[in-house]
A and B are shown apart, each in its own frame.
Chain A
Amino acid sequence: MMLKHLPSVLFCSSGGGMLWQINQAPPIKNAQIGDPGPWLFPGTLALTLIGLGIVLAVQERRNFRTEQERPFSNEHANTSQEKPLPMLAPPQLQVRIMVLLSTIAYVILFEPLGFSISTVIFLSVTTVSLAPKNSKTIAIALTTSLLATLFIGWLLADVVNVPLQGVFFS
């Protein structure tokens, strides 16, 4: 229930923050006659965000109550004989954390290490983390990381002429 209210709280607080900023703004001196100035539009948006945030919270609360009061019914239970779509499970939590951390590290190291070194490290770590754990797929992942780094580097630096630091063989 608390989580369901989180977006409403965020919208209301964003609107509140905007109103506070508008309140702190210095008075406008160079506006034309009739021009409502630069704060009317964001002010209206802030009020709308707060108002609709409250409406949403009320709606969620009403829906939550209705769901609790509604008796269980299997009227709408899925009785179709259709074959479900074949699905792949998402990676495990440790793998997701690894991908997240390596992405953050990539962003931090992108400038100091240059494109090729940071990219080959990032690709090796993420592809090996995400790949099924056997020597063949890991070998393929590592080779792909190296080749992809060289190919993307060549494509961006030499073909598209993007100004990029630290590209091997450029």
Chain B
Amino acid sequence: MIDLFFANLLQLTDPRTLSFMGASLVFGLLFGALPGLSAAMAVAILLPLTYSLQADLGLAVLMAAYIGGISGGLVSATLLCIPGTPSSIATTFDGYPLARKGQPVKALATGIVASAIGGLFSLAVLVSFAPVISEIAIRIGAHEYATLTLAAMMLVVILAPGNLVKGILSTCLGLSIATVGFAPITSNPRFSFGVIDIMAGVSIIPFMVGLFAVSTIISGLTSPTIRTDSKQVLLGKGIGIKLAELRDNSWNLLRSSMIGTGIGVLPGIGGTASNLIAYAAARQQSKKPKDFGHGSLEGIYASESANNASVGGALLPLLTLGIPGDGVTAILIGGFTIHGLQPGPLLLTKEPDLVAMIYAAFFLATMMLLVVQLFSIRIFPKVLLLPRHLLFPVLLVLMVTGTYVSDNRVFDLWTMLGFGVLGWALEKSSYPLGPLVLGFVLGPILETNLRRAMAYSQGDLTDFVTRPMSCAFLLLAVSLLVIGLRGNANRSPQ
């Protein structure tokens, strides 16, 4: 794998690939920096555009946008006290006070360096653990796979904000949408009402672009948006970071990266929770806890290293089990699908070259992020001045064009707009979108394995509880549901 990694790294340094990755990294950074836009939206818009690229280049482009999107939130969090993405909420606690003390460049640079360290740490974990998990995953059968998928969905449901019933309904809606088209195994047509365009099922591209990108535009046009015209001037020379500060924060960086990676692995949590938990841990173990909230470098290091570390964590279940760790990795599944690839236990054995390329793209994107952000530290914040009346129409053009070219069908454009309205209406009514997307992505996996398992055991359901691993996953799913119900019951009276 190491040889393949370096071979792919060399291949990615081709000028064309580098320019593609650089452009999508900046695209992701832009989406991360602007409040209201997100990494998920950046990846969703780029997803159909990678259709005509080779699989390795297409996935490298999506990886760069993902990493850029997660990191971009730092800019508005530091300069405006507005987290560009939920992954940067904790960065506002100390990044903004430090910027207000007259050190905006140092605050930004600290975040940039921490992001790179967190990203590289999680890559190391990904490379080390992916083969081990994949090896175990190959040995598990349909019973285990079905119950594992169920447990992952339960975890996403109980961690989704708000009402548990709404979370489960969202998941069921996603699962129901996934049942449209030919059924797995027996290929019977379902819910297509004789419409040829939906006989093959709901395409992943219009679904994702509509849900994550079109809904954001509708929301931006119907609700008040945050003003982002920063008047902060970033003058001076250098980036203000001292090596001694990095040395003093080495344990903080390691701990926060471990928290970020660990939380990123759990489906549905991702960077949003990891930066807050890492921040809280850093504050608890700090020698100067009183400095937190007043521009503490420890706080920025903790938050930014954790949120970028969650990227590698989220990729771990995606590459080894085919289960996405967050919304963006759910969209990345689309990136695999459009190139005829299936993430999961067999990916590492069947496509080791592609997996090595993903690792190499992750590494390269992280290094490019460090270089691009540090060199543009005084220029990039100007993106916050971008007027929405120019940005939104251009994004709509990219969405329409990208979705159209993925299959050359106008029908997909209507589907995209329909899912955009659905996503906006659901978000407005406090239905979480994460479980909906995961339901859509995991639905076919769950159904296929459920039916296979029942066929293997000739309809005997007791096999689900007599097989140890399947029983453990089932117990986990039930426990998560009970925890969720109890939490919901405790919340209801309030």
Contact = CB atoms under 8 A, between A and B. Distances in A.
A53 B410 CA distance: 33
**Residue of B191, B222, B389 with highest tally of chain A CB at under 10 A:** B389
A101 to B, nearest CB: 13
**Residue of A14, A45, A156 with highest tally of chain B CB at under 10 A:** A45
Given A34-B457, A152-B398, A90 B393 contact: no
Contact of B401 (A32, A115, A130): A115
6 contacts: A35-B455, A39-B190, A45-B175, A110-B413, A144-B394, A156-B49
A33 B459 contact: yes
Q: Is the interface of A mostly helix, strand, loop or mixed?
A: helix
Nearest to A104: B417
A33 B455 contact: yes
Contacts of A34: 454-460
Interface of A: 7, 11, 14, 18, 21, 25, 28, 30-39, 41-42, 45-46, 48-49, 52-53, 55-56, 59, 85-91, 96, 99, 103-104, 106-108, 110-111, 115, 119, 122-123, 126-127, 130-132, 137, 140-141, 144-145, 148-149, 152, 156, 160-164
B176 interface: yes
Contacts of A163: 52, 405, 408
B458 A162 contact: no
Given A45-B175, A111-B410, A18 B447 contact: no
Given A28-B188, A45-B172, A162-B405, A33 B223 contact: no
A139 to B, nearest CB: 13
Contacts of B446: 41
Contact of A45 (B179, B184, B185, B460): B179
Given A96-B222, A110-B400, A59 B165 contact: yes
A160 B47 CA distance: 12
B414 interface: yes
A118 to B, nearest CB: 9
A148 B394 CA distance: 7
A128 B289 CA distance: 51
A31 B186 CA distance: 7
Given A34-B459, A126-B393, A148-B394, A87 B179 contact: no
Interface residues of B, number: 63
Contacts of B492: 59
Contacts of A88: 224-227, 388
Interface of B: 49, 51-53, 82, 163, 165-166, 168-169, 172-173, 175-176, 179, 183-186, 188, 190-191, 220-227, 387-390, 392-394, 396-398, 400-401, 404-405, 408, 410, 413-414, 417, 429, 431, 446-447, 450-451, 454-460, 492
Contacts of B397: 119, 122-123, 148-149, 152
Q: Which 3 residue pairs across A and B have the least CB separation, nearest first?
A: A38-B183, A130-B389, A34-B459
A49 B394 CA distance: 38
A86 B413 contact: no
A154 to B, nearest CB: 13
Contacts of B226: 85-88
**Residue of A42, A56, A86, A108 with highest tally of chain B CB at under 10 A:** A42
Contacts of A38: 183-186, 188, 190
A130 B172 CA distance: 37
A156 B20 CA distance: 12
A40 to B, nearest CB: 8
B409 to A, nearest CB: 9
Given A52-B168, A59-B163, A88-B225, A35 B185 contact: yes
B225 A107 contact: no
Contact of A42 (B176, B389, B414): B176
Contacts of A25: 188, 190
